[in-house]
Amino acid sequence: MSVWLAIGIGSKNSQGEWLEVYYPKNFINPSEQIRIKAKELIGYQEGNFTSSIPKELNEELIKISGSFSSLKEGRGLVVVVDSKIPPSDVPSCYLRLHLLSHRLVKPNEINLVGIFNLLPTVAWTSDGPKDPRELNEILSEKRINNESIHVHSLDKFPCLTDYVIPEGVRIADSHRVRLGAYLGEGTTVMHEGFINFNAGTLGKSMVEGRISQGVVVDEGSDLGGSSSTMGTLSGGNETLISVGKDCLLGANSGLGIPLGDRCIIEAGLYITAGTKVEMIKSNNKVEEIKASELSYKDDLLFIRNSLTGTVQCKPNPKTVNLNEELHSNN
């Protein structure tokens, strides 16, 4: 499916510009009757389209959820996106991020080109999202009225759990998982773990390291404390990095190539595409190659020789098994 329709509730700044939009899950691709009526009322033809909620449609929405009766004018909207083409405005960006975090699409399956330029930097506060340009006035007003407000962050992306609560996951520090992250059921994200938008885990995983934009970690893998995966947002890397099934990235290790299944990178070792690796074969013959030549290969153990400092790779005889008790996230 490439075309999605959703009913959202958003916030604007004093200039009437969208800051963010929340899409209730049951109003993302609602019933066919609602979708057909909505498209007719807003005059949808193709591509991305954003409209206020027509009065006739709002009456239908109130029948489904009575809370829509108290929705203030100008906050509700109907958004249609074609996920094959780039987003065109803030509402279409936020719908794409919701699709990822609701597990309706997987990372790298939808078009997110230009999302950084479209999303405004927002002050995420205890009093809701605010425009940073208006924040000083808001802070003064709160103080004068003997009220307080806490600014959690100034960022283009909010934290996941303010918008989506994925089933069967555990997140120790919700500020370290952005909206747009894809968390497979059974995923545990510890305090040092971080998951960016358009990235995540496909199933039961332990995340104590960083999963950068575009990176996908398959089921059964463990990213050790402060380990790192190389994303594609900056630094010139254009290769999508992935971690296969049942892999282990040791503490403080790093990954810059797509990893196959059942692979281990020892603690403190950073593997990039250009890293020179001594490949030790099963017959103990040694061949020097670039790490990129080992992309997607299964059953590999990457280590650094403690005497010579040489990066070595050999067949991995071990199996990574996650602690089942840590991933029964009911």
The SS3 assignment for 328 reads coil
| Nearest of 83, 113, 109 to residue 95 by alpha carbon | 83
Closest CA to 259 of 274, 272, 269: 272
Q: Which residues pair with 277 in a beta bridge?
A: 289
**Partners of residue 20 on adjacent β-strands:** 11
- Cβ atoms within 10 Å of 267's Cβ, excluding its own: 16
Query: CA torsion, points 23, 27, 30, 35, in degrees to nearest 10?
Result: -70
Q: Residue 21 in contact with residue 79, Cβ under 8 Å?
A: yes
Place of tokens 């609701």: 102
Residues 288 and 276: their CA atoms lie apart, in Å, by 7
Secondary structure (DSSP) of 270-319: EE-TT-EEEEE-TTS-EEEEEGGGGTT-SSEEEEE-TTT--EEEEE----
Q: What count of other Cβ atoms lies within 10 Å of the Cβ of residue 37?
A: 15
* Residues in Cβ contact with 212 at an 8 Å cutoff, skipping those fewer than 6 apart: 196, 199, 228, 229, 230, 231, 232, 233, 241
Supply the DSSP symbol for 71.
P
- Among the options 208, 238, 278, 293, which is catalytic? 208
208 is an active site residue: yes
The residues annotated with a catalytic role in the active site are: 208
